[in-house]
A and B are shown apart, each in its own frame.
Chain A
């Protein structure tokens, strides 16, 4: 079998046990990330994008629980691997970049110690070799004085530097797939672009792939090749960035894009809120906020279906919307 580094997620379901009941955070999400793809998973708080990312990496923590679905990476199923098997893949074949670099780095151990632990988790190396590898990794992420960084501690770094260190650690074993959870949200805007250029540069170099979870449509528009829009634990639309941003088919995607302030344009917000994730609606979760909703939307949940070349959407009324929306926008 060809080792492709492809990530395939099928019908993923994650729930959280709370005092009020079981919150259905992810409800049957599926997608594929092919080598070379940068997939942006985008949505607002409570849409299940972070829970999806964590479930893929086996990082779901109680009270969260993976109720079902398959996660396949490079031809192997990850969900059944167990902690030990997953450990050999995480950090080695799949890299993870977290939101806050100061949260991710250990404040008490030196950067060199942490690097050494990460390197030794997947290969045999002496302390000297580890230092060499770490120095190279730091240079690769654009850090000019890597020795000083390596000898220091997390708190001595600026936000941008710390995130570079996190990226260097996450990619030190050259993973084929990178999972990034809001990698620039905690950073200043003038640093954000440097970091995104860096990460996507690493991907493009060697035909690797990335899944990036974000609430920032700008990040998706400028740095992703494909996008998956999530709402209330479901995927509602997927396609290339051009397709989805220029001709959004799902009413929620349209609402999301309409909320972005544009030059000379008005903005439109969205009234109402998320459906009850404990007593999850049997129909379309967006039905009660959707201007196009009809009876069928309340009764049956629309599945994700093909809606053109390389794109899918989950809406009973999506057909025929494409041309209409494009016309209205131009």
Chain B
């Protein structure tokens, strides 16, 4: 049984009487224990909203989030809070998610204080030190403030705090995108090590394809709140089927000079998030669209037992449209 199952989740935002924005539109996926699922997409694709829904920070309009056999969306806020000890998060901006007025010891120890009141102060400190050592920080920084630390150290601190309750699932919301390349690599290797050591399950939110390949087992590609493609990471990166995935993946620049992938650009820019699409949301930007695309709804369709895509031109067992009709 998967550790996390997200089923047909929908979330609509409406700001100040304006038109509704479908931030998340019928999204489903599941993560097996010990694996990493990545949500990839551009800004406005809804990937962070999915993360917030999984964390219980946002309630979906409909759909279910089943974690460890329990439906989180049906739980009372109190039960949900208790569940939060096994479901934690690391966020993008380390500094902004850490209280600058609190010392390292209090920051990392805070979740313990909330979930285990019986713990003595000394025992709590031992757990904090153990957690700091896990992430490569020593007990020497217990009395420091986050402002004294470098960006990489701050993110390690965020990870130490997420780890202290021995969670089973950690939501990683762009944990390295504000970090420099060489620091990013240290954080990614650390996260991978921790995953092996504690058989952690990750829900990883990212827009960096190079990182995704290194990091995850399964990937869902999101566009305008919907899943357009889902499957094993390697397969999606090497052989994307949905025209949006093709464009997204071909737009990343290889660091190998002379290994330029041919561009498969979309036309124009992403539409306003309030635009409603009866058919495919990529209509108007897609290089291989047909008339039907604008009107016919496109549910996620299986290609292989582990892969599916939402494009009417992708059929089970067949190659994607970009393969047999690639523009020269």
Contacts and interface: CB of A to CB of B under 8 A. Distances in A.
B256 A221 contact: yes
Given A44-B181, A158-B270, A259-B182, A192 B251 contact: yes
Interface in A218-264: 218-219, 221-223, 241-242, 245-246, 255-263
Contacts, number: 109
Given A190-B247, A218-B253, A260-B255, A159 B269 contact: yes
A266 B188 CA distance: 11
Interface in A172-196: 188-194
A263 B42 contact: no
Interface of A is mostly: helix
A264 B184 CA distance: 18
A206 interface: no
Contact of A267 (B188, B207, B258, B265): B188
Contact of A245 (B152, B187, B257): B257
Contacts of B260: 222
Kindly name the residue among A44, A246, A257 whose own CB sees the greatest number of chain B CB atoms within 10 A.
A44
A192 B247 CA distance: 12
Interface stretch (B14-22, B68-76, B209-217): B209-217
A5 B323 CA distance: 45
B185 interface: yes
A271 interface: yes
A269 B270 CA distance: 35
Interface residues of A, number: 42
Contact of B255 (A159, A189, A193, A257): A257
B254 A218 contact: yes
A216 B211 CA distance: 13
B181 A193 contact: no
Nearest to A224: B257
A119 B48 CA distance: 43
B213 A245 contact: no
A270 interface: yes
A100 to B, nearest CB: 13
Given A189-B248, A241-B257, A268 B185 contact: yes
A191 B257 contact: no
A217 B150 contact: no
B254 A259 contact: no
Contacts of B269: 158-161, 191
9 contacts: A190-B248, A192-B253, A197-B263, A219-B253, A222-B257, A261-B185, A261-B188, A261-B211, A267-B214
